Amino acid sequence: MPQRKSVPLAWRRFQARYRLVGSKCKNCGKIYFPPKVFCKECGSKEMEEYKLNEEGKVLTYTIIHAAPSGFEHRVPYCVGIIELKEGVKITGEIVGDFSKIKIGTKVKAVFRKIFEDGKSGIIHYGLKWKIVE
Ligand SMILES: [Zn+2]
């Protein structure tokens, strides 16, 4: 499959461009993720790109044992709310040994394959949170 060769390059570009880049208000300093075009705090439209810290902690989590249709093979899996150092809260799947997970567990952002389209060969990636040992 020749199109496979283009995946690593596209993958690197994807990571550089989309990896936890939010926006920061130049006026009041409020940080947003996903990025916003204007600030909800002060109304300013002076926003700049802001690279968020990739480490955070678990605020709350749920371990899923009964998955929706199409995801049955993945149970159990863990989803939660992660708080980054900047105070931004992001929901997402938590990966790693989540048998030891608790509130306050440190996690790190990773990009992982979510699913692969068998017909087109397209691999879909998404942001997940890996438990830091
Ligand atoms: Zn602002």
Q: 30 in a domain, yes or no?
A: no
| Cα 69 to Cα 64, 75, 121, 122, distances in angstroms | 13, 11, 22, 21
Residue 112 domain-assigned?
A: yes
Q: Is residue 46 part of a domain?
A: no
Query: Near ion ligand 1, which residues have CB within 5 Å?
Result: 25, 27-28, 30, 39, 41-42, 44
C-alpha of residue 88 to centroid of ligand 1, in Å: 15
124 in a domain, yes or no? Answer: yes
CATH number of the domain bearing residue 102? 2.40.50
Residue 87 lies in a domain: yes
Q: Show the domain range for 115.
A: 54-131
pLDDT in tens, the chain (133 residues): 444 555 566 655 555 445 788 899 999 999 998 889 999 999 999 999 998 988 999 999 999 888 888 878 878 889 999 999 889 999 889 999 888 899 999 999 987 777 777 777 777 777 889 999 7
Structural domain count, the chain: 1
Instruction: Please state the pTM of the whole predicted model.
Output: 0.73
